[in-house]
Amino acid sequence: MNRYFLKFLEALFQNYKDRVLVYSQRTLDVPRGSQLWTLSSHSEFLRTKQRSDKLDVFIAEQIANISASVFYSPYFGEMRTKIPQAYTLPDMIYEKFPQYFPPADVNVQKFIAQKRACFERAELILPISKSAAHDLQEHYSNLSADRIKVVYLGVHDLFFEPQITDSFAKPYFLFVGNRQNYKNFLRFIDAFGKSGLQKHFDLQIISPTLSEFTADEKEIMDRHKLAECIRVAYAISDEALRKFYAEAYAFIYPTEYEGFGLPVVEALASGTLVLTSNTSSLSEVGGIAPLYFDPYAIDDMVNVLQIASQMPVSVRNERIQAGKKWATQFTWENSQRTFITAMQTLL
């Protein structure tokens, strides 16, 4: 969310200059006089977060109604305004996979209710894929299609840049992202272990945060004797990630669901063979270059891993080149242009 918010904000300033007003507690790189800081970000008398949030919303509503023509939020919230509202929709994970979120969790239920209210009052909803748009209409069938406009995400330019790769004694498969629930890491490492490829390939994991392996993960790793072939890196830069993609034998993304699936496009842009799930948005953003599998079928995942490992060099290179070409449509420039076109419908 942070990246697309900054990119869309940049596009708004490029097109509307001093007509854009940002109300946020974050320090943002925007023109002087274009940002108002939330009261809670510099006030000591607000003793609780609930009190500060309510006051911030109230002030933002007044500013929007007096000073603006359109309100845009990169996520959701409690804002109720007299002017048209637009929201970006990252995914529908809470609605599609309630089994991963405790039904008694008050915060989850509050968030879903807040999200529903945003949809009902929005003049414009911006899903980040056609798949996410379909999921939205499936769960909120009362929403008219003319209020929904897809705005794909973009890939940082550096992922398209040529990369000098190092030689490794042992090639590796690459996994990027969180490992919890719908990211499907448990099934993946079970499939990797069953494939027998640990004899010839390492498994490199890139995690956004420092997180120890769980008991379930350790059990599978021990059962397949994977400890010696697994390497982990945490919270790395885009430059380092680009290098990991470029040097990987293949990138694997076994997730059960994605609103977009940015790592797939990053890997394609980096010249990496991609293996990914045949669910949600992944075939939409991946195109014909990846090898697809059923993320719920371990045997199917094993089969695709083995096919990839035995792929002739010429065939692998054809897929890599097709992937790089396909990824060029997902630039931030294209994303920003589509975003502005959508927002102009409210002006």
Contact 198, 249 (CB under 8 A): no
pLDDT surpassing 90 at residue 327: yes
| pLDDT score recorded for residue 211 | 85
- Averaged pLDDT, 328-343: 97
> What predicted TM-score, i.e. pTM, was given to this entire model?
0.92
Please report which confidence band the pLDDT of residue 41 belongs to, taking 50, 70 and 90 as the band edges.
low
Share of the chain above pLDDT 90, in %: 77
Nearest alpha-carbon partner for 280 in 157, 131, 97: 131
Nearest alpha-carbon partner for 126 in 154, 90, 84, 94: 90
Neighbours of 29 (CB within 10 A): 9
Share of the chain above pLDDT 70, in %: 95
- pLDDT tens, 193-205? 999 999 999 999 9
| pLDDT score recorded for residue 84 | 96
Nearest alpha-carbon partner for 88 in 104, 102, 77, 78: 77
pLDDT surpassing 70 at residue 257: yes
- pLDDT tens, 165-195? 766 678 999 999 999 889 999 999 999 999 9
Amino acid in position 251? F
pLDDT surpassing 80 at residue 276: yes
| pLDDT score recorded for residue 43 | 53
Cα separation, 284 vs 291, whole angstroms = 13
- With a CB cutoff of 8 Å and minimum separation 6, the contacts of 310 are none
Please report which confidence band the pLDDT of residue 243 belongs to, taking 50, 70 and 90 as the band edges.
very high
Q: What is the mean pLDDT of the chain?
A: 92
| pLDDT score recorded for residue 48 | 52
Q: What is the 3-state secondary structure (H, E, C) of the chain?
A: CHHHHHHHHHHHHHHHHHHCCEEECCCCCCCCCCEEECHHHCCCCCCCHHHHHHHHHHHHHHHHHHHCCCEEECCCCCCCCCCCEEEEECCCHHHHCHHHCCCCCHHHHHHHHHHHHHHHHCCEEEECCHHHHHHHHHHCCCCCHHHECCCCCCECHHHHCCCCCCCCCCCEEEEECCCCHHHCHHHHHHHHHHHCHHHCCEEEEEECCCCCCCHHHHHHHHHCCCHHHEEEEECCCHHHHHHHHHHCCEEEECCCCCCCCHHHHHHHHCCCCEEEECCCCHHHHHCCCCEEECCCCHHHHHHHHHHHHCCCHHHHHHHHHHHHHHHCCCEHHHHHHHHHHHHHCCC
pLDDT surpassing 60 at residue 313: yes
pLDDT surpassing 70 at residue 96: yes
Amino acid in position 187? R
Cα separation, 325 vs 269, whole angstroms = 8
Amino acid in position 62? Q
Domains of the chain listed by start with CATH number = 2-154+332-344 (3.40.50.2000), 157-327 (3.40.50.2000)
Which tokens belong to 120?
A: 């009902």
Please tell me the least confidently modeled range out of 25-39, 77-91, 228-242: 25-39
| pLDDT score recorded for residue 103 | 76
Contact 332, 150 (CB under 8 A): no
